[in-house]
């Protein structure tokens, strides 16, 4: 039950944070907001998994709250795809490419940063 509650709390905080990013960016199409949270989420989840969780020896429930809960609710693949379907345009295709390439780069950077800091 503790783990389920941790995911619930992390998910609530991640979802609220996700909504706040859209409000902060004043993004009516949500393409920029989705891009921002997906890139940050790629970095956070990778750094959490390969850096913080190992270095700080986080308990399972804390890792679930931060990874599955917070980052899972914060990032949004379904919104990403819905935005692309609704906004079929050259701009949407650029955002699509930025999500894929940028997400890979952010994941790569977080992985190497986490491994570098462990030494």
72 is in an annotated binding site: yes
75 is in an annotated binding site: yes
Q: Which structure tokens are listed for 115?
A: 């491994």
Selection from 22, 38, 18, 21 nearest residue 102 by Cα = 38
Selection from 48, 56, 63, 74 nearest residue 7 by Cα = 63
Q: Helices (DSSP H) in the chain: which residue ranges? A: 2-25, 31-47, 53-55, 60-63, 72-74, 77-86, 90-118
The helix, strand and coil proportions of the chain, stated in percent and rounded to the nearest 5, come to: 85, 0, 15
Binding residues: 72, 75
Binding residues for Na(+): 72, 75
């Amino acid at each position: 039950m503790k783990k389920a509650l941790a995911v619930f709390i992390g998910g609530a905080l991640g979802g609220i944070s996700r909504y706040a990013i859209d409000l902060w960016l004043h993004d009516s199409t949500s393409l920029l907001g989705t891009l921002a949270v997906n890139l940050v989420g790629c970095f956070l989840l990778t750094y959490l998994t390969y850096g913080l969780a190992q270095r700080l020896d986080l308990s399972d429930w804390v890792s679930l709250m931060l990874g599955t809960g917070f980052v899972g609710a914060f990032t949004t693949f379904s919104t990403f795809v819905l935005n692309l379907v609704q906004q079929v345009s050259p701009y949407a295709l650029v955002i699509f490419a930025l999500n894929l390439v940028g997400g890979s780069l952010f994941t790569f950077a977080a992985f190497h940063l986490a491994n570098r800091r462990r030494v």
